[in-house]
Structures are given as C-alpha cells and as structure tokens.
Amino acid sequence: MPSPSPPLPPISDLFAAAERTAVHLEARDVYAVAPESEEMATWRATGRRSAPDSPYWRDWVGLVRRTVARGVTVRRARIVSEPVSEYVRFEHAGTPANLAAGEDVRWLPRDHAADLALPDADFWLFDERLVRFGYFDGDGHLTGHDVTDDPAVAALCAQAFEAVWSRATPHEKYEI
C-alpha cells in the first residue's frame, strides 16, 4: 500500500473538497460504542435513536447536508453478517438520521458479498480519486486512518463500492 499522505486531513476537509461524490463502504459487524453511552442506553430501552437535529447527530448531519447542498452525492453501503449483531441493529435504528442528512444507504448481507473483491478496510472514496481508509481493532475501536490518491487504489475502491451497491438493499426495504 502506498504511504499515507501527511498530514492526514480531517474528514470534514475531505467532504468540503468533494465535487461530485462521497461514498462509504462499511464492512464490520461492530464499531466501538460505549455500552453505557446515553445513545445506546436510550436505544436499548426504547428501540429509538436520537433525532437528526439532536446534539448526538448535529455535526454529522450538518456536514452531510452542506455537502449534498453543493450537489455532491453521498452514498453509504454496509456489509453485514446475518443474523445481525446488536451494534448493527443499533446502527440500523440510527440510519434515518443519515437519510435525513441526505445520504443514500444500502445494506448487503455478507453471504451476498462473498464473491466480490473488496479492500480489507472500511473506506471513504471522494470523487473516485481520493481514498480514506479506516482501521479498527477486533473490538471495533478505531486504530488509525490512511489517505491515498493512488489511481489504482481509488479504482479498486470504486469498483468494490459499485459492486456492493448494485447488490445491496435500500435501507427502507432492508429488514433486520
């Protein structure tokens, strides 16, 4: 893999620089969310997540709304094991906030992705030219990021994302 481009820009800068597309591929069944967090506790008690304009979502929703308002298409594809993990149920319950922000979100069961060539890390791909990989430990804690504009890596990620997207189910139709 090519060396990361120092210094690593914040994700908000990458969104601000995007001109056409920002796509995200997630392939983990768990991301670290403190089990005692207020958001998780509320969801466990009620089955509901915070509204898009809540403090929990405000920064992300604002970033995506500003990006979409400039004409950038924002898509997110999630590859998940079935039956889904508790975290994926939590994530699914929060997806209406992503949709309200302007993202298009789809879900693909892992067994429908088995024959696809996929990078072994989650990534954001901006304008099919700049990739921001995210690395996580086994418990879902973020361990780091890399950014590359290597054309071969960007092409691999674009092909992988589109292959997943074409098979995935829109959020409104994906039942957990």
Assess if residue 45 is contained within a domain.
yes
The CA-based angle 81-174-136, given to 5 degrees, is 40
Q: Domain span at residue 66? A: 11-173
Assess if residue 137 is contained within a domain.
yes
Assess if residue 4 is contained within a domain.
no
Q: What integer pLDDT is reported at residue 33 of this predicted model?
A: 76
Question: E strands within the chain?
Answer: 21-26, 73-80, 104-109, 122-126, 130-136, 142-148, 169-170
Q: Letter for the amino acid at 138?
A: G
Assess if residue 6 is contained within a domain.
no
- In which residue ranges of the chain is pLDDT below 50? 4-5
The CA-based angle 93-172-119, given to 5 degrees, is 80
Assess if residue 57 is contained within a domain.
yes
Q: What is the CATH number of the domain that holds 25?
A: 3.30.870.10
Assess if residue 44 is contained within a domain.
yes
Tell me the C-alpha distance between 116 and 12, whole Å: 30
**Interval 8-43: pLDDT, tens:** 899 999 999 999 999 999 999 999 876 668 999 999
Assess if residue 163 is contained within a domain.
yes
Assess if residue 1 is contained within a domain.
no
Tell me how many domains the chain contains.
1
